[in-house]
Amino acid sequence: MTAKILKNVRPMGAELSDLAIVDGRFAADAPEGADLIDCGGHILIPGLVEAHTHLDKSLLGLAWYSNAVGPNLMDKIDNERAVKTTLGLDPQVQSERQAILSISHGTTHIRSHVDVDTQHGLAGVEGIMATREKLAGLVDIELVAFPQSGMMIRPGTLALMDAALSMGVEVVGGLDPCGIERDPKGHLDAIFDLADKHGKPIDIHLHETDTMGGFSTEEIIARTKALGMQGKVTISHAFCLGAMDRAYVAGLQDLLAENGIHIITTAPAFAPVPAVRELKALGILTGAGSDGLRDTWGPYGNADMLDRARIVGQRNNLRRDAEVELALDICTFGGAAIMEIAHYGLAVGDTADCVLVAGETLAEVVAQPAPRKLVLKGGRVTARDGRCVLDAP
């Protein structure tokens, strides 16, 4: 038995208390002789949940990639497949680098999309699977098989998607059924068939805006309902829910709520985004993610989910403390609920995945993110003062 007591800690900003951890879970009491950790009166939150990223894509640790890629989506997709070869990108090394950065910022759970295509096959899946073995106990990684280069427009990809799911990838990914695939019926039938065959949930990238995105959303809803997949389907990005015509969006959102479809936002500043307060009011589960970072798509990003909460807050114009706390909820409990993480939270019996953060209130924690004081995963210290206990390769 291992036991710890977090002394002088404020769970979720509440009054000072002591929290016991026994065998990796929060407990009512700790036995004599438990390790004492003085938390200095700081706030404790549950482990941050990175619900949308691409561990196989980052160029962390490499020389600066000078980006001169064309402006269209297909330019970026084609360029990325080529650059992976020219740079000899190793998905195991890159995913380890990014995962260690995530841990340093207090992330305890990651949902990563991973490219599956006919040029690189399942190398990304294998690389991230190796990383998750290596980092077991430090961070949990869930995989989404992601047909980044298209499936309908790239024959052979569907069989690779099927193979990835057979290898243990947990979630079926998808991508702009109209915008990229040019065949919404074909694409959506294919990914829902995969989900049905493997008994796995879906998380589909939907960058399509306005009524094109709305059309794809309606088609996703129809299949979710027909297959009884309520609670098992997530739309990532969902830019169409940021459309100007709020009456139109309200209709879509009612259907999403009715069919238990979840939303994951990265809250980019340059695109329309789902309005998180509206989703909350409708009871639509909402998570958030960093998306890709420092990759061939763009130079930004830091894998910091507390900074992402700030971005969600600023993008949604959340100013009042209670609103700012919603941004934090999305980056913790929201993502955890979508990923169906068992025993998530700070209550007795929950897994001791938690982060000690600087700030007087939860709103300050989000609005003025500072290096994490301490990160625990299953009661084990994984980072201190913004540094992971492991060095990146």
Give the nearer residue to a copy of itself in terms of CB position, either 68 or 226.
Answer: 68
- 247 interacts with a copy of itself by CB under 8 A: no
Binding a copy of itself (rule: CB under 8 A), the pick from 39, 311, 341, 352 is: 311
**Cα distance between residue 197 and residue 193, in whole Å:** 6
Binding a copy of itself (rule: CB under 8 A), the pick from 359, 384, 386, 392 is: 359
- 1 interacts with a copy of itself by CB under 8 A: no
**Distance between start and end Cα atoms, the chain:** 32
The distance of closest approach from Cβ of residue 190 to a copy of itself in the complex, given in angstroms and rounded to an integer, is 30
- 297 interacts with a copy of itself by CB under 8 A: yes
Residues 272, 246 contacting (CB under 8 angstroms): no
The piece of 34-42, 162-170, 317-325, 382-390 that touches a copy of itself (CB under 8 A) is 317-325
Half-sphere exposure at residue 143, Cβ-oriented, CA atoms within 13 angstroms: 28
**Cα distance between residue 270 and residue 233, in whole Å:** 26
Give the nearer residue to a copy of itself in terms of CB position, either 86 or 317.
Answer: 317
**Cα distance between residue 46 and residue 113, in whole Å:** 23
Binding a copy of itself (rule: CB under 8 A), the pick from 8, 73, 361, 386 is: 361
Binding a copy of itself (rule: CB under 8 A), the pick from 107, 157, 290, 316 is: 316
- 100 interacts with a copy of itself by CB under 8 A: no
The piece of 25-33, 165-173, 224-232, 314-322 that touches a copy of itself (CB under 8 A) is 314-322
Give the nearer residue to a copy of itself in terms of CB position, either 235 or 324.
Answer: 324
Give the nearer residue to a copy of itself in terms of CB position, either 360 or 385.
Answer: 360
Helix (H) or strand (E) holding 5: strand 3-11
* 89 conformational bin, left if phi > 0, alpha if psi -120 to 50, beta if neither: beta
> What is the DSSP track for 14-79?
-S-EEEEEETTEEES---TTPEEEE-TT-EEEEPEEEEEE-TTT--TTSPP------SSHHHHHHH
**Cα distance between residue 173 and residue 148, in whole Å:** 9
The distance of closest approach from Cβ of residue 365 to a copy of itself in the complex, given in angstroms and rounded to an integer, is 10
Binding a copy of itself (rule: CB under 8 A), the pick from 2, 17, 230, 368 is: 368
Would you state the structure tokens that stand for residue 365, as one six-digit string? 């924690």
Residues 103, 382 contacting (CB under 8 angstroms): yes
- 298 interacts with a copy of itself by CB under 8 A: yes
Binding a copy of itself (rule: CB under 8 A), the pick from 141, 164, 202, 267 is: 267
Give the nearer residue to a copy of itself in terms of CB position, either 78 or 218.
Answer: 78
**Cα distance between residue 225 and residue 206, in whole Å:** 19
- 68 interacts with a copy of itself by CB under 8 A: yes
Give the nearer residue to a copy of itself in terms of CB position, either 69 or 130.
Answer: 69
Residues 267, 288 contacting (CB under 8 angstroms): yes
Binding a copy of itself (rule: CB under 8 A), the pick from 302, 350, 358, 389 is: 302
Measured at the alpha carbon of residue 326, what is the angle toward residues 110 and 357, in degrees to the nearest 5? 65
**Cα distance between residue 112 and residue 142, in whole Å:** 6
The piece of 103-111, 266-274, 284-292, 343-351 that touches a copy of itself (CB under 8 A) is 266-274
- 299 interacts with a copy of itself by CB under 8 A: yes
DSSP 8-state class, residue 121: B
Give the nearer residue to a copy of itself in terms of CB position, either 22 or 275.
Answer: 275
**Cα distance between residue 329 and residue 309, in whole Å:** 8
Binding a copy of itself (rule: CB under 8 A), the pick from 52, 105, 315, 373 is: 315
The piece of 14-22, 61-69, 133-141, 252-260 that touches a copy of itself (CB under 8 A) is 61-69
Site string for a copy of itself, 217-246 (x = CB under 8 A): ---------------------------x--
Binding a copy of itself (rule: CB under 8 A), the pick from 11, 213, 313, 345 is: 313
Residues 262, 285 contacting (CB under 8 angstroms): yes
Cβ neighbour number for residue 121 with a 10 Å cutoff:
16
- 270 interacts with a copy of itself by CB under 8 A: yes
